Structure 1
Amino acid sequence: MSQLVLRLAGPVSLTGPENENLTPRGMKARGALAVIGSSTGMRIARPKLQDLLFSERDAEHGSASLRQLLREIRIALGPHRAAMITGPGWVGFDNALVRLDMAGHVGVDGRRAEFAADLDIADPEFEDWLRDARIHYEDQADQVLAETVTDDAVPTLIVQVPVTSDAQSAVASAMVLQEAASRVADMLPIQVLNGDPGIGRIAVGIELGAMASRMGNDIVLLFTARLRSDGRMLWTRRFALPSDDMNAALRRIAGGVAVAIMHGLEHLRDVVPDASVRRMPLQDVFSYSASRLSRADEQLSQIDPNGDRAVILALRSYIRHTMLLERLSRDPDADSELAAEMAGRARELSPGNPTALGVNAMVAAWKGQFETSFDMARHAIAIDDENPIARLAYSSALTSMGYHREAEAEASAAHLSALSELGPAAWVLRRAIAATRVGDLKSAERYFATTHGYAPQNRPALRFLSAIRYQLGDETGAIDALRKLKKLEPDFTLELMASDQYPVESLRRAGLLRVTKSGLI
């Protein structure tokens, strides 16, 4: 039999496996639920329960009233009455059939719900008990939060049921919530849960909710994210869903919500003062700094010390791929093999994960396996054509296969999507390379300059800028790019740039290495 859920924070309620309401109507019957649920093992002596609820009646009448009250609870349980159990002198709930939820729902003011908030029983013994129980609940709430976090805790995204005014608004908001949560789970090591499992089960994470209502023919959607531990508002996002272009708008909105979730998860460690909460180093993963990339790799390895989480392995492989492209690796051969091993392992663990497939495509391209890279990238796009790493891999694979116009179109479209915000420099760079390969050098120069503005430590942008500016007759601009590159790569020379070992294959194929014979530095 599936579990029933007894909730004692906020109004007392008992719900069934299909969320059906099994709560008795009588005030004293709900009081009995609160007492039983708060007792050790959810069992209490019958005389104790009788004294709390019927202290002003004589023993005989009190006993009869208790029997009637327990009968009322069993009737409310209906087909689940086996959940209430009795023994010699005691009554309670079967722990295997009833789960206690002491979390409740955080109110709009960010405050926790009061314990048994709906109870008002005019019995002096019960009033004393309820007052003490509420004080105990408040004192223990923060301790419960701390004790439920494990050492290797990862954040949880709790997707709540949308609050809507009509069926179509409900479907639209639920679709966005589910798609956004799925995209986040493909990119970050998190748990995603639908509904509220209770604060005793999950304490760290973000509660994601939605409200939707009609405004004419359109639907207005408001998404909110609150901190699980204390209800603090993290962010809100408001969108209008036009009736004439609903499908495209839903994808765009889901992307925007996914980005907001990922930024919230990345900064969760800053707002939850708990050392067991792991930092999600997403911005560092998409950086071009040796120290930031190394820090991201170390943090990801702490989250996944056993190396059995596909998303983390894929991100760590992506980090090594970046270090290889940026000439940041101290041992390129070893890092190349490790990147391939991590990517392959990620794909084995989660064959349908678009991030894992995208990284596998990138690693294959680095090894010169362009057809394999193209097939893997197409597979990743077929699974999720909005995943940022899959789209990066696909645009790059199109370039490697000689489909330059298609690569430029993919890079341009992806650059304008909401998810490109996660690593804007990577997207502008990809767009710049695609423009270079189709011969649009003026646009390419503009995009490479923008890449440098986003990420001053990005070395490929400076390599391309020096070559393209020289090709366009801008020697001053070329010298500026070469000097900046020299600061990032102390061993850089124009002779090195001209060698087969230097990573400028795109420039070589485009015939843009005249700068190597310029003698500018």
Structure 2
Amino acid sequence: MQLLGPAQENLTPRGMKARGALAVMGTSVNMQIGRPRLQDLLFSERDQEQGAASIRQLLREIRIALGPHRDAVVTGPGWVGLDGQIVALDMAGRAGADGRRPEFAADLDIADPEFEDWLRDARSHYEDQADDQLAAGIADDGTPALILQAPMSGDLQAAVTAAMILQEAASRVGDVLPLHVVHGDPGIGKISLGIELGALANRSGNDIVILFAARLRSDGRLLWSRRFVLPAEDSAAHLRRVAGGVTVAILHGVEALREVVTDPRLRRMPLQDVFSYSAVRLRRADEQLAQIDPNGDRAVILALRSYIRHTMLLERLAKNPQEEEEMASDMAARARELSPGNPTALGVNAMVAAWKGQSETAFDMARHAIAIDDENPIARLAYSSALTGMGHHREAEAEASAAHMSALSELGPAAWVLRRAIAATRIGDLRSAERYFATTHGYAPENRPALRFLSAIRYELGDEQGAQAALQKLKKLEPDFTLELMASDAYPVDSLRRAGLLKITRSGLI
């Protein structure tokens, strides 16, 4: 039994019977109960006058605990209660140290036979209603909620640091996935499906130690936990690193939520499919995103669907390239119109502009996206690519290298290694480029650009056997592939062409 204020401050009275009175009033019809009934429940063994005086004392204790919110307690002729316009009831209960939700009013131990009977009946009643209650509150689009709990800490600096990290991580998650981010707990009757994210933060010598934990909303099951240590004297310098780690944990947790929750209304979040290079997975991701946003009015989803089409164009997976290019361009533009400050939307617009050969536009949009959030994965991909398009190859390689080392690169590692490889190719470091392209292929065997570059660079380095092996793998992915096609202006190997690395097209290796 806990009473929280508007800022989640604890207003719970200390007295056991005062808390019992709150439990009774809060769960009564209209949050009101007759004084004689409340007196029978809590003071059944006292005479009428003593019992009435004890009830007055309990109400006084509750009002003192409420402080400036004392008007939440209301009274009338023969009844007492709580103001339903001020007080909301949450029957979910907070998860305990073991991660499980306790039974109703588990902390109340009042040795009155009448109250014991009432408590037993109430627990049975609310246990029977639990399934119905947990079935409520799923968003119409089937997306889960991310509920940010206030950090628990006895140290002010540790609490503020943990809160800042939670806010930044939630903001980044919202930029790449269509989640409902909720600050504070509105009650399980309103939101029952999703993830509760909280933190336990404390000082340990000169360090701040923060344990972030995500639990399943419906039953308190622990989904994941992450522990981070930051130096207290320089915690600001480490906030982004930790926020990145928490962001990745949230994204992976949300993507795996469908495997934990069997409710058919819950939509799958296909983030790994979005960053894949498989035609089947890319189309599946597009279909699932379209189901979440059938009206096409959510910027993040439109941006991701445009990104999918951009990948399909690069990979030669589009059945109708002209149509896919028009759709990618239209979705990117609409995403930017709906959310001009969304770094994902801006990054995708930059990628589409680069595909069209609009290098300066792509660079300007990517630079704008980075200015908003220089940790956003799609914004950073777009920026590195735009630097290449402007001829700033060493800067492009440095950006790709730095981004590859960040926590968020875990979402699509092949994309980052591929960027480093292309940048290395453009500055003439073919040994490094060959190594990066081989790593890209290891991460994503279906990635076609990696095999195109591998074949050309290996041939340039005198490794004809390695070049032939790459061509054979490429042929399996692209049945229509020929060296003559690779030499044509229509084939997407502009970087190889600019670097003078298309000698392989005259090799006759395949």
Deviation at 1:52, TM superposition (A): 2.5
Does structure 1 conserve the Cα–Cα contact (< 8 Å) formed by 2:136 and 2:190?
Answer: no
Deviation digits for residues 417-464 of structure 1 (CA, Å, limit 9, x no counterpart): 111111010001011000010011111111111111111111111111
Structure 1: distance between partners of 2:347 and 2:400 = 15
Residues 1:217 and 1:15: Cα distance change in structure 2 (over 3 Å): closer
Give the match for residue 484 of structure 1. Answer: 473
Deviation at 1:320, TM superposition (A): 0.7
Give the match for residue 518 of structure 1. Answer: 507
Matching of residue 428 in structure 1 with residue 417 in structure 2? yes
One of 275, 288, 294 as aligned partner of 1:286: 275
Give the match for residue 224 of structure 2. Answer: 235
Matching of residue 274 in structure 1 with residue 277 in structure 2? no
Matching of residue 498 in structure 1 with residue 487 in structure 2? yes
Give the match for residue 15 of structure 1. Answer: 4
Give the match for residue 465 of structure 1. Answer: 454
Matching of residue 177 in structure 1 with residue 166 in structure 2? yes
Moved more, 447-456 or 48-57: 48-57
Residues 1:246 and 1:77: Cα distance change in structure 2 (over 3 Å): closer
Structure 2: distance between partners of 1:94 and 1:165 = 32
Alignment of 1:85-484 (within 5 A): 85-86=74-75, 90-242=79-231, 246-484=235-473
Give the match for residue 9 of structure 1. Answer: none
Matching of residue 509 in structure 1 with residue 493 in structure 2? no
Moved more, 202-211 or 393-402: 202-211
Deviation at 1:72, TM superposition (A): 4.7
Letter matched to residue 316 of structure 1: R
Letter matched to residue 419 of structure 1: L
Letter matched to residue 451 of structure 1: T
Partner-residue secondary structure (3-state), 1:99: coil
Moved more, 43-52 or 301-310: 43-52
Structure 1: distance between partners of 2:60 and 2:504 = 90
Deviation digits for residues 66-106 of structure 1 (CA, Å, limit 9, x no counterpart): 45544554454444344334556544333222111112210
Aligned length: 510
Moved more, 111-120 or 126-135: 111-120
Moved more, 469-478 or 70-79: 70-79
Structure 2: distance between partners of 1:88 and 1:447 = 80
Deviation digits for residues 257-290 of structure 1 (CA, Å, limit 9, x no counterpart): 2111111111011111211222111110000000
Letter matched to residue 374 of structure 2: D
Deviation digits for residues 310-357 of structure 1 (CA, Å, limit 9, x no counterpart): 111111111111011111111111111111111111112211111111
Structure 1: distance between partners of 2:413 and 2:329 = 25
Deviation at 1:61, TM superposition (A): 5.6
Deviation at 1:62, TM superposition (A): 4.6
Structure 2: distance between partners of 1:255 and 1:156 = 20
Deviation digits for residues 17-37 of structure 1 (CA, Å, limit 9, x no counterpart): 234444444433322221121
Partner-residue secondary structure (3-state), 1:13: coil
Which runs of 5 or more residues in structure 1 are unaligned? Answer: 1-11
Structure 2: distance between partners of 1:304 and 1:340 = 18
Structure 2: distance between partners of 1:520 and 1:76 = 83
Partner-residue secondary structure (3-state), 1:241: strand
Moved more, 438-447 or 136-145: 136-145
Residues 1:23 and 1:415: Cα distance change in structure 2 (over 3 Å): closer
Partner-residue secondary structure (3-state), 2:225: strand
Deviation at 1:156, TM superposition (A): 1.9
Does structure 1 conserve the Cα–Cα contact (< 8 Å) formed by 2:144 and 2:195?
Answer: yes
Alignment of 1:34-45 (within 5 A): 34-45=23-34
Structure 1: distance between partners of 2:241 and 2:140 = 36
Moved more, 214-223 or 434-443: 214-223
Structure 2: distance between partners of 1:257 and 1:15 = 27
Structure 2: distance between partners of 1:167 and 1:94 = 33
Structure 2: distance between partners of 1:21 and 1:210 = 17
Residues 1:413 and 1:334: Cα distance change in structure 2 (over 3 Å): same
Deviation at 1:63, TM superposition (A): 5.0
Partner-residue secondary structure (3-state), 1:98: coil
Partner-residue secondary structure (3-state), 2:89: strand
Structure 1: distance between partners of 2:278 and 2:473 = 14
Letter matched to residue 317 of structure 1: S
Structure 1: distance between partners of 2:123 and 2:227 = 37
Partner-residue secondary structure (3-state), 1:15: coil
Partner-residue secondary structure (3-state), 1:140: helix
Residues 1:238 and 1:59: Cα distance change in structure 2 (over 3 Å): closer
Structure 2: distance between partners of 1:51 and 1:337 = 74
Residues 1:127 and 1:331: Cα distance change in structure 2 (over 3 Å): same
Moved more, 425-434 or 252-261: 252-261
Which runs of 5 or more residues in structure 2 are unaligned? Answer: none
Deviation at 1:236, TM superposition (A): 2.1
Deviation at 1:154, TM superposition (A): 1.7
**What's the TM-score once normalised by structure 1's chain length?**
0.92
Partner-residue secondary structure (3-state), 1:131: helix
Deviation at 1:490, TM superposition (A): 1.1
Deviation digits for residues 371-413 of structure 1 (CA, Å, limit 9, x no counterpart): 1110010001111111111000000000001111111111111
Residues 1:450 and 1:243: Cα distance change in structure 2 (over 3 Å): same
Deviation at 1:308, TM superposition (A): 2.0
Partner-residue secondary structure (3-state), 1:330: coil
